[in-house]
Structure 1
């Protein structure tokens, strides 16, 4: 691949199995004692993959390349906005992975040189690989929201990748006064964590209510005509925050015509909203590294074979997490963790002849609407004809008891603890 622009991981952050094994085993067996696996990206996908690659012993040389020395989990970050958890509980480092035998490189990636099977870092260092896992996260189609840009995000934060943006949104939320109008611009599919914009509205409403802010309104201007678990959210909004949250679909607002970060306005075909806080969540694509490496298709995401998570354009590269598209599987931390563990198993089989179990996926999602009220959905999935197919979906019901909702809120806390231990512990 040509080009030498430095790419920060936070902004980049088919075939049968038998057909893939032969070309991979040919080179490393002669040249070195241990096959080299490089993982780019230390989020829910990449960190999990690195951990599980070294879990069964030292047969593989596993390198994790990550631009930052800590990771802020996007999942459960809405609870930080709602005042249900401190920011520090979202932040994780890599010491435990290093202790398990993962070799870290904390540096930006300049390019993936696919023909030579090596990763070029910003300082010119080249890291060779026999197999590469790319977990670059998401990036934004800034121009799809007229008037929005990376610069505009400093006044109208997206807060969709954690870190400074999340802290900025929290400061703006905490500064709101009586009568404040909040506008959330929700993105079209596909995007990271389908229920998250609506959980965010819930947590914003909870924070404002808890602080005693009177007369505040939250307007959600959606690019979709429906959203995940919509009846459950709307029912809970009326119970917990009556008259406070208003959702509009494209037929109602007619589309976003412009945002103006200086005037703090959002103009639709229906009206212009003057807001004290605007949270624009732009349409999303695979992180910049996936696009620069030529791993994406016309969707802007990286198509993969569901049975191996190998990139459609390069059988030596696996793409996992939010950047990948392989069928019905959603984009979530739970999904990335699942993809990573399956991919680690597949690679160990390819390079070492380790046991290969049937590839299966699951996803479960909890959305916290109030401290003792959480809803959930999920399903199991399996690969079929190169795609991930959904089986046995389930979702919460409107008539669930308060006791069950409180139990699900506790489940969400336990899931986060277990998930982050599985990734970083």
Structure 2
């Protein structure tokens, strides 16, 4: 190991950014280690908010966190790039060349030495090989994808509001494949947005007649992470809003015209979103490391990789067994937060020369789903109370507090308070929907 251990975190999502921040403050600031964060983009948006970016109710230009500035404040280094390979013998992370929008090489291929390497690259949508998904569906894995959806939606509304001929069947319809939290929350946000557009000059569009929203899932019910009663309650609320819910419908093909299912249904939709499953990024399966069938890296109980105890994996890209039945820790923000904290403590002790023999234990604090301004429901888990169903303003407050916890880790109390106040003040001058 070098005199000042080199720690590299690959991936600046919730888990990776929180880990780099903690390590920068604890080890980078006093000069006990060199901490480097690598990410393919220059700014961070909390992934559970991407459905709001897609609907246009959250402007990433105002609220995204710039890695370079955050690195300076928190004593770590940021390097822009995409990991392409791993040299375990020489302990080097290899980055691919980076190109700009004109296909000009912006940054050449580089390599960075490490003593400890943490994979925190999150997950991407899993299309399960369904024909037409890649060609005709939008994903919501990244800020750029969510922004692309928002632009496509806005352009479709502008075109429909100004065309001379009558609106065609399905011209403004949206089909969302996958009825997990992302799909359900996106549908509710889109319903809210399409009911507000008349305030901004879209008088020709009648949302009740011209915009139909569909949610499809292969499972027997929506929101399988929630108790069955809550799942049923949410479905009734969605259907009460006019959102069409299709369960036990396996998608067999996606075309430009719409979504085809195994039962023979064809659901027409101009805009299609795929949110039906996740997998680890494809490059993880090509590094010579132990991975499962969806490219998640297999880890031990202390989150080190089965192949190398100098390598860790946290967040959605980690296949972490949480019980004797072999179930994996679910891909949730709370798991990413917990694992980032656990690995930060482990590395602090290891760099001090102390052993760290603890095992990571996932603590499920429940699940919450927001239907925008209409409702928020979920279940909270407690050691004493067990599972408690919550809804209304209590559930809404708890849901918002999850994002505040993420901000507290990144900014501390003072900056989080200022950020919250600034956002409240901007509500009086900003439109409710992003229109540009």
Q: TM-score scaled by structure 1?
A: 0.76
Residue 406 (structure 2) aligns with: 419
Are residues 1:394 and 2:387 paired?
yes
> Would the alpha carbon gap of residues 409 and 89 (structure 1) be closer, same or farther in structure 2, given more than 3 Å must change?
farther
The alpha-carbon distance between structure 1 residues 269 and 135, as it changes in their structure 2 partners (threshold 3 A), is same
For residue 377 of structure 2, what is the aligned residue in structure 1? 375
Structure 1 position 336 matched with structure 2 position 336: yes
Indicate the residue corresponding to 2:75 in structure 1. Answer: 101
CA deviations 1:340-378 (Å, max 9, x no partner) are 110111112122146967755445543211326212335
Q: Deviations over 1:134-165 (max 9, x none)?
A: 1111134445222222xx2xx52122x13232
Does structure 2 conserve the Cα–Cα contact (< 8 Å) formed by 1:82 and 1:207?
Answer: yes
For 1:420 and 1:369, locate their aligned partners in 2 and report how far apart those are by CA, in whole Å: 22
Aligned pairs for 1:25-424 within 5 A: 28=1, 32-56=2-26, 57-82=30-55, 84-94=57-67, 95-122=69-96, 123-142=108-127, 144-149=129-134, 152=135, 155-159=136-140, 161-174=141-154, 175=156, 180-186=172-178, 194-211=180-197, 213-215=207-209, 216-226=211-221, 227-229=224-226, 231-236=229-234, 238-239=236-237, 242=240, 244-250=242-248, 253=249, 255-261=250-256, 263-295=257-289, 296-306=291-301, 308-327=302-321, 328-353=328-353, 359-364=360-365, 365-371=367-373, 373-379=375-381, 394-397=387-390, 400=391, 405-423=392-410
SS where residue 137 of structure 1 aligns?
Answer: coil
Q: Kindly tell me: are residues 342 and 246 of structure 1, through their superposed partners in 2, closer, same or farther at Cα, counting changes over 3 Å?
A: same
Distance 1:48 1:107, change over 3 A: same
Q: Alpha-carbon deviation of 1:115?
A: 2.3
Structure 1 pair 72/44, CA: closer, same or farther in 2 (3 Å)?
same
- State how far apart, in whole Å, the 2-side matches of 1:135 and 1:392 are: 33
Q: For residue 111 of structure 1, report the CA deviation from its aligned partner.
A: 1.0
Q: Map Cα deviations across residues 94-147 of structure 1 (whole Å, 9 max, x no partner).
A: 222332220222222221112221112233432111111011111344452222
RMSD (Å) for aligned C-alpha atoms: 3.0
Post-superposition offset of 1:424 = 5.7
How many angstroms does 1:205 deviate by? 2.1
SS in 2 for 1:55: helix
- Shift of residue 198, structure 1, vs aligned partner: 1.6
CA contact (8 A) 1:45 1:321 kept: yes
Give 3-state SS (helix, strand or coil) of 1:146's partner.
Answer: coil
**Would the aligned equivalents of 2:297 and 2:318 in 1 still touch at CA under 8 Å?**
yes
Secondary structure of 2:42's aligned partner: coil
Normalised to the residue count of structure 2, the TM-score between the two structures is 0.74
Question: Aligned residue pairs: how many?
Answer: 364
Structure 1 position 274, deviation (Å): 1.2
Distance between the aligned counterparts of 1:297 and 1:238, measured in 2? 37
Q: Please tell me whether the aligned partners of residues 58 and 101 of structure 1 are also in contact (alpha carbons under 8 angstroms).
A: no
- Taking a change above 3 Å as real, the CA distance of residues 282 and 366 of structure 1, as seen in their structure-2 partners, is closer
How far, CA to CA, are the matches of 1:314 and 1:47 in structure 2? 22
Q: Is the 8 A contact 1:342 1:360 kept in 2?
A: no
